[in-house]
Amino acid sequence: MKDEWARTDFLEHRDRKIQLKRSHKYYYQVQGQMGVSGYLHTYFCVWTLKGELFTEIIQFDAALWNDVISKLIVFFKSYLQRVMLRLRPIECCLVCEKVCLEPDEFDDEEENSINCESCGKWYHWICVGYDGRETTFVCESCKILAIDD
């Protein structure tokens, strides 16, 4: 397994052992599943083509879950529930005019959407040069309006 782990983008070698990368989307998925189900630990397993099995016990990270769940609640209340109830139309990026939050966005780390905290309009990350590091986003139009005020 030691040679096989290097061929993945989700495993890393840390403290002389192989583990799931804590920055990888699989780690967030595992934490989310534990948060929803109430489990305090789970097993992450990888089966290699050589017939080897890698297993790691993942402990629930309450601090990470609290950060993620608060963002999920805001996203659900500000966007998803309104779209599901047809109180809000499906949002389109104001730059490229394509629909935001399509299913393929969730599988592609490069393709994501964000809404402006000031006006509530949606944009694709790539269309506005957003890199995901900042916790807030204000579009250029709202920044210009704020400067004019």
pTM reported for the whole predicted model: 0.54
User: How confident is the model over 55-111, as pLDDT tens digits?
Assistant: 999 999 999 999 888 888 877 887 778 777 877 667 788 898 888 876 565 555 666
Which tokens go with 23? 């920055």
For residues 55 and 113, give the distance between their C-alpha atoms in angstroms, rounded to a whole number: 34
For the segment(s) 90-149, the CATH number from 3.20.20.70, 3.30.40.10, 1.10.10.10, 3.40.50.920 is 3.30.40.10
Q: How big is the CA angle at 41 (ends 36 and 42), to the nearest 5 degrees?
A: 85
Give me the residue spans of the domains in the chain: 5-61, 90-149
